[in-house]
């Protein structure tokens, strides 16, 4: 599961994937004409691994129902400055 943001404390997007780096690259490249592309949501601010895809999807659905403040608190627990965590995974910094 992952959360992307646009700008500092910007619009949030909750997603799930089995290939986090590949999916982040798709978001950054605007591969799909989607919500994230329209809103410029490309900065990885939170992610968590799950044991199974079923568990990941269950958690994703739960997070999507959360209030924005709850998601914000989840992000800031480990990423208080909303840094792009994709850089630590080997992707280049956003310009």
Domain spans in the chain, listed from the N-terminal domain onward: 2-78
Average pLDDT value for residue range 37-56: 95
Q: Which two tokens stand for residue 92?
A: 């280049």
Q: Tell me the per-residue pLDDT of 6-37, one tens digit each, with 9 for 90 and over.
A: 976 689 999 999 999 999 999 999 998 889 99
- Fold entry, domain 2-78: GIY-YIG endonuclease (3.40.1440)
52-57 long-range CB contacts below 8 Å, 24 or more apart? 53/16, 53/18, 56/1, 56/16, 57/16
Average pLDDT over residues 41-67: 96
- Give the separation between CA 75 and CA 7, rounded to whole angstroms: 14
- Spatial contact of 59 and 1, defined as CB atoms under 8 Å apart: yes
pTM of the prediction?
Answer: 0.94
């Amino acid at each position: 599961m992952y959360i992307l943001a646009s700008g500092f404390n910007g619009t949030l997007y909750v997603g799930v994937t089995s290939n986090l780096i590949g999916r982040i690259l798709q978001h950054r490249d605007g591969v799909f004409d989607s919500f994230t592309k329209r809103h410029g949501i490309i900065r990885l601010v939170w992610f968590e691994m799950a044991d199974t895809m079923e568990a990941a999807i269950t958690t994703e659905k739960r997070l999507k129902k959360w209030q924005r403040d709850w998601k914000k608190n989840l992000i800031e627990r480990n990423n208080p400055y909303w840094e792009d965590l994709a850089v630590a995974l080997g992707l280049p910094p956003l310009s």
